[in-house]
Amino acid sequence: MKLSELMRDYKFSPTLISSDPDINGIVSDSRLVNPGNLFVALAGESTDGHLYIPDAINRGAVAVVGAKPAISLKVPYLQVEDSRVALPQLAAAFYGFPARKLTVIGVTGTDGKTTTTNLIYYILKAAGYKAGMISTINAIVGEQVLDTGFHVTTPDAPDVQRYLAQMVSAGLTHVVLEVTSHGLAQHRADACEFDVAVITNITHEHLDYHGSFESYRSAKARLFASLDSTLPKSQGNPRIAVLNRDDASFEYLSGVSTGSILTYGFHPEADIRPEGIQYEEQGLRFEVIGMDRKFTCLCSLLGDFNISNCLAAISATVYGLGVSQTAAQVGISSLLNVPGRMEMINLGQDFIAIVDFAHTPNALKVALETARKLTDGKIIAVFGSAGLRDRQKRTMMAETSLGLADLTVLTAEDPRTELLGDILAEMATGAESKGGIEGETFWRIPDRGDAIRFAISLARPGDVVIACGKGHEQSLCFGETEYAWDDRTAMRAALSQQLGVPGPQMPYLPTQDK
């Protein structure tokens, strides 16, 4: 695509365009530039992409887009008002605006995004739609399952548009996209032309980045405000906001949503509600009622919170897109688990072992409440709190566990460049504030593998050991290095050692050397 064609619909300063090169790709990381690429310089939190323009050109960039005043280069430089806003628009143009050819469902929230995204995907597949999915775990394009990487939120804008283009090429008609607050605030999901927007909940998280709960909530709200900017599509675009009537965000989001509104939840005024909830050995059974419908739903996932996730998915598909209730029933019942979400690990032990992604105070709360329903014995919780992230969570997480678990093991969870001992000390303060006694009701064990081993050594028949915070993630960050790590592998390694049965080796972490 010629540079002039790519920039045709975007406002820019034309003062330094000396040629009209062919563009064969768009990147915002100078290290990833290949010959023929357009480099978009972004001003980031810790560095400024404009400083890497010479490096991008040396690597073969044939044009540059930036937000700083025009500079003299040997390639065209196009100045835009905000290069972060320009990036998704240019990526969409490069790939032929793929979202305009798809029905796009966006899912955001603090907790439950990945599960709800998967539920919607499974319902769409059960309905016979050619559907794709982009989540924080992976992207599914037809028969391809693509890893979206270590510690990612919403993929970068060029990646999102590339995935969407691949879906169009594969003949897909629908896509469900998990959208994080970072992705929304950084415009990574712009130009996705959302038709349906879904919220799970908004609770305490990412205040280190957003600065305040109000800013965090405002970032989430961008998804719902964007419904109004979706262009008409040949297949139609319903522009529906699916809101959680139980959540404190409801009043705020109902005021900013530009589409029609569907509500779900346990609240008596919700459009779609559950009743007759039964907890069975194979999972949850409940009736879905509302808007002149009533049908039974069977869900293999654990926890009352998954009733809300099911209702969100049903609202988006059955009530929002006109999918049959039979497809919803089949789709939900066919989703047996979501990687790293209340995932049971069983090597024949006489207690329950679970790995869950819970890394917020609210998610930890509902995970422990769910664990409590599984046992009359003790709950032994293992978790940490990330470095260079919201410090308020550290005491809140520990306080939550001391209130709901019987025994708590505090350990590493991506300390990054912070001192792990300092993080654990803050968490211990939270534990002590709730009456915790170190060495009796809570422990600090820096090495995550040792922490899981220790928790397992405490378990008695019928107890629950639950490792929270990492879930599906495939690495743990110490300093600036990502070490390969999977809590599920670690749990299996610890269980196999305890039971004396074959199993994987405990993954290496640098805390093993201390």
Please tell me the predicted confidence (pLDDT) of residue 395.
Answer: 97
Please tell me the predicted confidence (pLDDT) of residue 140.
Answer: 92
Write out the chain's pLDDT in tens, 514 residues.
Answer: 999 999 888 777 655 667 899 999 999 999 999 999 999 999 876 789 999 999 999 999 999 999 998 778 899 999 899 999 999 999 999 999 999 999 999 999 988 899 999 999 999 999 999 999 998 778 899 888 887 654 445 788 999 999 999 999 999 999 999 998 777 888 889 999 999 999 999 885 554 554 577 887 888 898 999 999 899 999 988 999 999 999 989 999 999 988 799 999 999 999 999 999 998 767 899 999 999 999 999 999 988 889 999 999 999 999 999 999 999 999 999 999 888 999 999 999 999 999 999 998 989 999 999 999 999 999 999 999 999 988 999 999 999 999 999 999 999 999 999 999 999 999 999 999 999 999 999 999 999 999 999 999 999 999 999 999 999 899 999 999 999 999 999 999 999 999 999 999 999 999 999 7
Whole-angstrom distance, CA of residue 468 vs CA of residue 195? 34
Please tell me the predicted confidence (pLDDT) of residue 15.
Answer: 58
Please tell me the predicted confidence (pLDDT) of residue 148.
Answer: 63
Burial of residue 114 (number of CB atoms within 10 Å: 0-12, 13-18, 19+): buried
Whole-angstrom distance, CA of residue 35 vs CA of residue 24? 8
Per-domain boundaries in the chain: 3-82, 98-334, 343-503
Q: Which CATH number fits domain 3-82: 3.30.9.10, 3.40.190.10, 3.40.47.10, 3.40.1390.10?
A: 3.40.1390.10
- So what CATH class is 343-503? alpha beta
Q: Could you tell me the sign of the dihedral formed by the alpha carbons of 502, 507, 510, 511, in that order?
A: negative
Whole-angstrom distance, CA of residue 77 vs CA of residue 367? 51
Please tell me the predicted confidence (pLDDT) of residue 149.
Answer: 54
For 301-326, b/e burial (b = at least 16 CB within 10 A) is bbbbbbbbbbbbbbbbbbbbbebebe
- What does pTM read for this prediction? 0.85
- Residues with Cβ within 8 Å of residue 186, at least 6 apart in sequence: 84
Give the closest residue to 266 by CA, choosing from 309, 223, 228.
309
Please tell me the predicted confidence (pLDDT) of residue 9.
Answer: 80
Q: What CATH number was assigned to the domain covering residues 98-334?
A: 3.40.1190.10
CA distances from 484 to 79, 158, 384, 473 (A): 40, 26, 17, 9
C-beta separation of 95 from 113 below 8 A: no
Please tell me the predicted confidence (pLDDT) of residue 12.
Answer: 72
Please tell me the predicted confidence (pLDDT) of residue 211.
Answer: 58
3-state secondary structure of 83: helix
